[in-house]
Amino acid sequence: MAQVSYEDSRKELQTEQGVLVYHEVGEGPPLLLLHGSGPGVTGWRNYRGVVGELSEHFRCLILEFPGFGVSYAGDGHPMMMAGGSVIAFLDGLGLDSVDIIGNSMGGIVGANIAINAPQRVNRLVTIGGMGKNIFGHGPSEGIKLLMDFTDNPTREGLVRWLNSMVYDPAIVTEELLEERWALATEPTTLEIARRMYSSQAMAAMAAANQAAETTPYWAKLGRIKAPTLLTWGRDDRVSPVDMAMLPMRDVPNAELHVFPNCGHWTMIEAREAWLSAVLAFLTRDDSKAK
């Protein structure tokens, strides 16, 4: 496997809203990789450890969502901006349809596209996040720690949140902490994060959801036509594994793979097993949408 370079793979796409940064690695059918949310997150950091293997089979496109400190900032809610940025990105590259891997928030974004624009998604892989709490009340432990950090960004708070993301705390290295801290506390990025995860924003969102007459995305999962692989860490403290029960049952062509001794980042903490399951699914002849 060839070494994948950050600088060599980095590209930019000008859109009407602003510049979208992305990384392109490999050749073959297009595979769009969508990152999650949280302090200091980027698409590159989510997928740099697995893009080498994936790029042996696919043209991997790692999109940096607006509002997370890499692509344009935007003036909206990060989740709301993300979906539109995906469609603009695909249109800008002239791609009619792609396979999608989405981590956490990225999985929800991918699911929404599969619901609302099914012709754009061939196959969908999600990493935690998608669904609805069945056994426990939200927010989860990890989301509460994320809110605490967003309200009061301290290094200690960041460590607590990062530790909630993993089963093995050894994964939270000083190098990981330093790179996350630098981007998470950048003023514009922090201000945008507070639109999403501050305690005030979360309370406002809960009130709006309770008053809304619109159907939540998780109640429309049955509309997803794309074959779907749900990947989950058994020990996920951010998106507890019981959330998988709803999409597992409602998405018509869904499969679920749960990894033991693994937290929220299955592509990092269960790297080899995750790659094996995902590549088997994406390269299987009968996993293409009908």
The domains of the chain are located at: 6-135+215-287
Residues 238, 241: Cα–Cα separation, whole Å: 9
Quick check: 239 and 104 in contact, CB under 8 A?
yes
| pLDDT for the residue numbered 288 | 55
| Nearest in space to 150 (alpha carbons), one of 199, 219, 216 | 199
- Residue ranges of the chain with per-residue pLDDT less than 70: 1-2, 209, 212-213, 286-290
Active site residue 137: no
| pLDDT for the residue numbered 136 | 79
| pLDDT for the residue numbered 208 | 73
User: What's the length of the chain?
Assistant: 290
| pLDDT for the residue numbered 289 | 52
| pLDDT for the residue numbered 290 | 46
pLDDT digits over 214-231, tens only? 788 999 999 999 999 999
Q: Which fold has domain 6-135+215-287?
A: Rossmann fold (3.40.50)
| pLDDT for the residue numbered 260 | 98
161 Cβ contact partners less than 8 Å away, ≥ 6 residues apart? 38, 39, 142, 145, 146, 148, 149
| pLDDT for the residue numbered 211 | 73
| pLDDT for the residue numbered 4 | 87
